Chains A and B, each alone.
Chain A
Amino acid sequence: MKQNAIYINNKGQALLFVVVALTISMVVGVSVATRTLSVTKRVSSTDTGAKVFYAAEAGIERFVDRPTSELIEIANGTSCGGTLSTLSDGACTFTLGDSTKVETKTSVTVQMMTYNKSNPDRYEVRLKNGTFSGIALSGYSGQINLCWRDSNESANTGLYYTLWSPSALMRESIILPNATSPNPEAVSFTVTGSSVIANNDTVTPNIYRWCTSVDATGTPYFLNVMPLGGDAVVGVLPAPGLDIPPQGFQITSKATLNSADSQQQAVKIIVTDRSYSHVPGFFNAAIYAQKDIVAN
């Protein structure tokens, strides 16, 4: 009998179908519309952020290759040098873009930098195989811990350094990872003569793998460090109670969207470490050939 009941009221059944269909359509339609608006809004936001990012990048590029003396002035807040920026509230600012459309404002500050890493305080550089970095040591006198880790864990990297006074070489050495214990590691390259065997880094074991102490007493002027056999991250740690001299500059470039629309805000901050300029490390060579030395 219930089946019959159903049959008795057939017209309402179709209306319900229509209503449900319309409802579903509306829901789908609204959903699609909302989705479209959301995507549109997201695309607009990404474009603005990119502008700001590029503006922050531009800040770095504009400042990072300035001469050392100019960066010192900027760090002192006395000038913006030749950066084509305006000194404002201790920062050098400049704008990019079209003020009638989208304009970014970049604010760059420069600080003298002794350590670019903390806990423990240290100066750290990332170096390519066979490429020198220069560590300023003017005014320092004492031991230095020279630590490193391989950039590529499969490579066992050594370290070569030359320590210079203002007028002459003080000492040089090749430092090799401990090849016996507790984790035997042998370098892939060939070493002759006496080398220094580094110790396992027990002070900063989670940061570096190997450490050695370099005697920088006296009147050191700079330390050239070069990884051998692979890329490496090298840390320079002063002896307890001592500070190594400034190593360069920390450049902070902050870019914002220069817009009155509070809905249109974007901020990008890039921090860069830039060492003092120094002569390419291969100048400590009597003979340097990027290719070969041929005598036959």
Chain B
Amino acid sequence: MLVFLIYMRKVRFLFLILLLVGLGFFLGSENRIVFAQDCSGCTGPGEYVCGSSWGANDMCCTGGGCPSYECSDDTYNSANNCGGTWMCCLGGAAYPDPCNQSVCTPEWVYLTLGTCEYCPASGGGGGDGGGTTYGQVIGRIWTDVNKNGSFDGVSELWSNSTTTCSTYKNDSFNITVGGVNKLSGWLCNDGGGGVQMSYYRTSDIETGSRSLTLTGVPAGYTCVNAGCSQTLTVAQGDNHIWWQLNKTNTPPTVTLSPTTINYSAGGVVYPVKIGVEDPDPYGQLRISSTTNVGSIRDTAAIEINAYGTSYGGVWPKLDIYGFRKTDGVRSSSPIATITVSSSTRATFWVPIAAYNTYSHFDLVFSNDAWDPVTKTGRDIWIDDVLLHSIPPGPMGTDIYTVQAENTSLIQYDVGVSYNDAYDFMTPARNAAMTSTPGYLLMAWGGSLRLPALWVSPYTATSGNLTFNVYDEPTTSTPVTRSVTIAPVTGTLTGNIWIATGQTVNCSDLTARGSHPSIPITVTANPQALSGAMNGSTGNYSVPGLFGTINTVSLTGAGLTPSTGSYTNACVNTSPYTVSGFTYNGSLITPSKTLDIGLRLVDAKKWIAAQGGDIYASKFTLNLPKACPNPLSVMCPNYSPQTATHYALGYNPLASSVFSAQPVSIGPSRFSESNISATNLGNQFASKNSLYFKKTLVALVTSLKDTNKITSFTTSSTSFPNSNYIMALDASISSAPSNYSYSVGGSAGLVFMIIPPKTGSPFVINNISTGGSSRLVIIADRDIEIGNQIPGTTADPKSAATTPHIKASIITTGNITFKNNPIGASSSPGTLIIEGPLISGATKGTDFGIKLERDLTSISNELRPAVFVRFNPFYITELNKIAVGNLLPALNDFFVFDYAQN
């Protein structure tokens, strides 16, 4: 039956295939190599060796068991597997490697099926026939070079230097038994797929249990697994031992940068480059991290700004791996992937779901490609990497940016493994890496290793940030490096002094003569640490401060002088006029000095105007002295600033001052325009009094019933169009406190007529409008303004500060600016009203325009109680009405010149 199968060529061919497959399986199993052996000592038809375990040729194939081979030819009587084909070769000691000596023929091989079993007790023998039997040991010596835990062929094999079918050479190997070297030679055979691989063979070794020792292991290598000594029961024929040598691991060099962090504020991010260089290729870095102060920053998203080149229609991609804080294991698979799918700079980002898991990241360029023919490939240029600590990612504001080309922060791990810290790309190695300014070129597959980020605590605590670096998956002893972390504390010092006069030269240290009385306590916040001022020197110090000082404040009775009040004049050597005794921490010098100069306040309530002239028969007011410095918005804008006061008029073009009487209000210069004519005499503008006494009175009388309303039913009025006149019934004594108006049609003026009512002033408060049209209030009555207007502390000169009263007032009577609220002794802010503001009061008891509004002490010095902002729209629109006779009812409002010849 067997013979029949063998001689059927097709069946035999099939069988050979099955045989090869089976052989492959057999080779892949522990019994990797099977040689035909002499089992002549066995009884029965079978006489070929098989094994009970790998390397043990302690059984024979008998009967219909396992396949075994024999050669039917007496000359070619040695069955050998040559290149995957069984052949009968010349055997014996003269032919230790029969396959390589072309002394084989496939013709004499036949198959025998048998059963692998121990030789019968009566078996044995062989050898020299003298009772002592021998066997030989063959096998391979290999190193798991790529550290993947399995044998990968010729690239991992050793032999002597004359044997070609190995990668690693060593002529010092010996395999001893009982101290006698038995290694007889190195051979090559087919390790699969036709690849020749080296193996060794020993000379005869007496059968039985023998201890074999591999010696002559090259320096830097050690035997692993079974070690350099193995015990084997040598059977007759070939026995098998594989020896695995692994290169002795050299710990990596770990360099942290920086090695110390001295932090002086909480919440500050410090990058730490974990520079690992491993002299051994392959392996898997593990970098665990821990800190006992502050924290290793979370990363909720990674954003890159980059561009790339596609190759073969595929864009480059960056696989993101993270190093786990706890055990340092780098994620086995990408936790996210960014495809750089733009040839121009673009933003890409991915979320990191496990945002608090990793200490730092590798961005792995995993699909590098290069065509040497077309010289094109797949590359990435990275501008920067943004690490977001706040979910969900790029829209977060807590971003730390790593410039990709900053090699003081990153490493570019390339070579056979992107995570072995063995082979790095650097600008010195290839200048192209950073030849694009501001970018890092990733033209080689590899990992861009980012720094770890440490966040300082808000308390002054010392500690360490420690990294344990392992260069092999199985290495248990790490290289440990730490960053020493220490807080920096400081002492705030300074001097509190009193300026003499209102003109303060803050940089003149010699002018710091006196100091306020004690007690004054200086407190730094948010640390809430304090120090007391020395009453004789004015010096103070606040020690033990850590972190950013947000504010420094002064407290204590010493801030209240016996007369008047203090205000700020200087901080350090610069003018400082912000009210209150709290100072922003940004004012502290780098040397942590905060000198504070105070001065007595010169508080006088005052009125000022902007953009128009100021007329009065007499000014009975005083401007506050000392515009302390240019930081105050109300300081006049002229240079040199010889005047030491504020001004009546603001605007370098139009702020002239005229008066019939001499003016003595403090400064010699009254306005920014520096145009004034005063002491003009009693006849100055006297003719105008007729206009108020006669013309305006008559005009109001003539208009008092025009579109008259008897009450304000709402707080707003919608005038149908410009040039509209609305008269109020004399019984109305006030406008709504928050009055607003609108005007239909094109922009222009509307008019409100307020008739007289003896003993009853008309009260005006907020008047607002959203459009550009304006309201002119023509009154034959005293006017009281602002008893419900809190005012503003904003810059009254700024167009962004809306006037409280958007109306022009012309009255035959007095105008009084009242305090807010009525009866109060002070009003909080400046009242802003549009001008012209005209009082035509002329009677003996009349006063004209009076300022009762009082901002008190400090505020009075900083800003006027009332600010009149001239709006040229009124005069230009009125002239258009006059010339065009657009509102006949208002003809008497206007004047003309008349001369009779």
Residues of A within 8 A of B (CB): 60, 64-65, 67-70, 116, 125-131, 133-134, 136, 158, 160, 162, 164-169, 171-174, 188-195, 221-222, 228-230, 248, 270-280, 282-296
Give me the interface of B with A, judged by CB distance under 8 Å. 604-607, 609-622, 649, 653-656, 658, 660, 662-663, 668-670, 673-681, 683-689, 691-692, 815, 835-842, 846-851, 865, 868-870, 872-876, 878-880, 882-885, 888, 891, 893-901
Residue of A nearest to B881 (CB): A279
Inter-subunit contact B848/A291 (CB<8 Å)? yes
Q: Contact between B614 and A285 (Cβ–Cβ < 8 Å)?
A: yes
Residue of B nearest to A138 (CB): B883
Q: How far is the CB of B577 from chain A (nearest CB, A)?
A: 22
Q: A172-B653, A172-B654 are in contact. Are A294 and B848 (CB under 8 A)?
A: yes
Q: Which residues of B contact A284 (CB under 8 A)?
A: 612-613, 654, 836, 875
Task: Report A-chain residues with C-beta under 8 Å of the C-beta of B873.
Answer: 167
Q: Which residues of B contact A165 (CB under 8 A)?
A: 876
Chain A residues contacting B898 (CB-CB under 8 Å) are 64, 272-275
Q: What chain B residues lie within 8 Å of A166 (beta carbons)?
A: 876, 880
Q: Please give me the residue from chain A that is nearest to B815 by CB atom.
A: A289
- Residue A68 contacts which of B611, B649, B885 (CB distance < 8 angstroms)? B885
**Which chain B residues lie closer than 8 Å to A158 at the CB level?**
677
Complex Cα–Cα for A277 and B838 (A): 20
In this complex, the member of A230, A278, A288, A295 whose beta carbon has the largest number of chain B beta carbons within 10 angstroms is: A295
Once the chains are docked, how many angstroms separate the CA of A293 from the CA of B613?
Answer: 13
Residue in A162, A192, A292 whose CB lies within 8 Å of B619 = A292
Known: A172-B656, A272-B898. A290 touches B692 (CB 8 A): yes
Q: CB distance A286 to B610 under 8 Å?
A: yes
User: In the assembled complex, which residues on chain B have CB atoms less than 8 Å from the CB atom of A222?
Assistant: 879
Contact across chains for A272 and B899 when beta carbons are under 8 A apart: yes
* Contact A294 B849, beta carbon cutoff 8 Å: yes
Bound CA–CA A164/B841 (angstroms): 28
Nearest CB on A from B698, distance (A): 12
| B617 near A286: Cβ-Cβ < 8 Å | no
Are B899 and A278 touching (Cβ within 8 A)?
Answer: no
Let me know if A136 and B837 touch, CB within 8 A: no
Which residues of chain B are within 8 angstroms of A131 by Cβ–Cβ distance?
685, 687-688
- Contact status of A290 and B688, CB under 8 A, knowing A278-B882, A279-B878, A284-B612: yes
A273 vs B899: C-alpha distance when bound (angstroms): 5
The reply to whether B896 and A293 form a contact with Cβ atoms under 8 Å apart is no
Greatest chain A CB density within 10 A among B687, B691, B842, B883 is at B883
Which residues of chain B come closer than 8 Å to A64, judged between CB atoms? 898
Out of A129, A188, A278, A296, name the residue touching B896 (CB < 8 Å). A278
Residues of chain B within 8 A of A128, CB atoms compared = 683, 686-687
Report the separation of the CA atoms of residues A278 and B891 in the bound assembly, to the nearest whole angstrom: 10
In the complex the two chains form, what is the Cα distance from A130 to B848 in whole Å? 17
Partner of B836, one of A282, A290, A296: A282
Closest residue of B by beta carbon distance from A131: B687
List of B residues within 8 angstroms of A68 by Cβ = 882-885
Interchain CB contact under 8 A, B879 and A293: no
Q: Which residues of B contact A67 (CB under 8 A)?
A: 885, 888, 891
Whether A173 lies near B685 (C-beta < 8 A) is no
Main SS at interface, chain B: mixed
Q: Are A116 and B875 in contact (CB under 8 A)?
A: no
- Residue on A nearest B816 in the bound complex, by CB: A294
Question: Measured between alpha carbons, how far is A126 from B386 in the docked complex, in Å?
Answer: 79
Q: Separation in Å of the B115 CB from the closest CB of chain A?
A: 119
B620 adjacent to A174 (CB under 8 Å): no
Contacting residues, chain A, for B882 (C-beta < 8 A): 68, 276-279
Query: A277 contacts B896, CB within 8 Å?
Result: yes
Q: Apart from A193-B676, A286-B612, list 10 A-B contacts with CB within 8 A.
A: A160-B677, A162-B613, A272-B898, A280-B688, A286-B837, A287-B614, A288-B616, A290-B841, A291-B617, A293-B619
Question: Whole-angstrom distance between the alpha carbons of A274 and B612 in the complex?
Answer: 28
Smallest CB gap from A133: residue in B: B897
Q: Bound state CA distance, A64 and B891, in angstroms?
A: 13
Which listed residue (A221, A230, A289) contacts B615, Cβ 8 A? Answer: A289
Whether the Cβ atoms of A291 and B846 lie closer than 8 Å is: yes
- List, sorted by A's number, 8 A–B pairs whose CB atoms are closer than 8 Å: A129-B685, A172-B656, A172-B675, A280-B688, A280-B691, A283-B836, A284-B836, A285-B836
Contact B610 A288 (CB under 8 A): no
Q: Select one of A189, A289, A293 contacting B678, CB under 8 A.
A: A189
In contact, A221 and B879 (Cβ under 8 angstroms): yes
Measured between beta carbons, the chain A residues less than 8 angstroms from B614 are 285-288, 293
A288–B836 touching, CB < 8 Å: yes
Closest 4 CB pairs of A and B: A286-B612, A193-B674, A130-B685, A295-B621
Q: Which residue of A lies closest to B638 (CB)?
A: A193
Query: Which residues of A are found within 8 Å of B658, using beta-carbon distances?
Result: 130, 160, 228
Is A164 a contact of B619 with CB atoms below 8 Å? Answer: no
CA distance A136 to B880 in the complex (A): 11
Question: B849: which of A126, A169, A293 is its contact (CB, 8 Å)?
Answer: A293
Contact B683 A129 (CB under 8 A): yes
Known: A67-B885, A160-B677, A286-B614. A296 touches B685 (CB 8 A): no
Q: Which of A69, A126, A283 has the most chain B CB within a 10 Å cutoff? A: A283
Query: Contact: B621 with A70, CB < 8 Å?
Result: no
Contact A191 B676 (CB under 8 A): yes
Cβ–Cβ contact B895 & A130, under 8 A: no
Q: Is the CB of A168 within 8 A of B836?
A: no
Which of B611, B670, B878, B884 is close to A69, meaning CB atoms less than 8 Å apart?
B884
- CB-contact partner of A292 in B611, B620, B656, under 8 A: B620
B757 to chain A, nearest CB (A): 21
Residue of A nearest to B656 (CB): A172
Residues of A within 8 A of B849 (CB): 287, 289, 292-294
CA distance A277 to B891 in the complex (A): 8
Q: A189-B679, A294-B849 are in contact. Are A283 and B874 (CB under 8 A)?
A: yes
**Cβ-closest chain A residue relative to B660:** A130
Given contacts A67-B891, A278-B882, contact A190 B654 (CB under 8 A): no
A130 B686 Cβ-Cβ under 8 A: yes
A195 to B882 CA separation, bound complex (whole angstroms): 31
Instruction: Please state if B899 and A286 are interface contacts (CB–CB under 8 Å).
Output: no
Question: Which residues of B lie under 8 Å from residue A171 when comparing CB positions?
Answer: 653
Q: Is the CB of A287 within 8 A of B616?
A: yes
Q: Is the CB of A70 within 8 A of B612?
A: no
Give the complex CA separation of A220 and B781 in angstroms.
36
Greatest chain A CB density within 10 A among B649, B680, B842, B880 is at B680
* Chain A minimum-CB-distance residue to B808: A283
Shortest CB-to-CB span from A216 to chain B, Å, is 16
Judge whether B612 and A228 touch: CB under 8 Å.
no
In this complex, which of B610, B668, B676, B691 has the most chain A Cβ atoms within 10 angstroms of its Cβ? Answer: B676
Known: A160-B656, A190-B679, A273-B901. A292 touches B847 (CB 8 A): yes
CA A86 – CA B895 in complex, angstroms?
A: 27
On whether the beta carbons of A60 and B885 are closer than 8 Å, the reply is: no
Q: State A191–B680 Cα separation when bound (angstroms).
A: 9
Residues in B whose Cβ lies below 8 Å from that of A296: 604-605, 620-622
In the complex, the answer to whether A291 meets B616 with C-beta atoms within 8 Å is yes
Q: Are A290 and B842 in contact (CB under 8 A)?
A: yes
> Please, which residues of chain A bring their CB within 8 A of the CB of B897?
125, 127, 133-134, 248, 273-275
**A136-B883, A287-B607 given as contacts; is B681 within 8 A of A189 (CB)?**
yes
Task: Tell me the bound Cα distance from A4 to B442 in angstroms.
Answer: 173
Cβ distance A168 to chain B, nearest Cβ, rounded Å: 5
Please determine whether A164 and B875 come into contact, CB atoms closer than 8 angstroms: yes
Nearest-Cβ distance from residue A273 to partner chain B, whole angstroms:
5
**B621 adjacent to A291 (CB under 8 Å):** no
A193 touches B678 (CB 8 A): no
Q: A288 to B839, Cβ gap below 8 A?
A: yes
Q: CA A60 – CA B900 in complex, angstroms? A: 9
Q: Quick one: given A173-B675, A190-B678, A192-B674, are A279 and B620 in contact (CB under 8 Å)?
A: no
Collect the chain B residues with CB atoms within 8 Å of residue A195's CB.
Answer: 675
Q: How close is A160's CB to chain B, nearest CB, in angstroms?
A: 7
Alpha-carbon distance A289/B619, docked complex (angstroms): 10
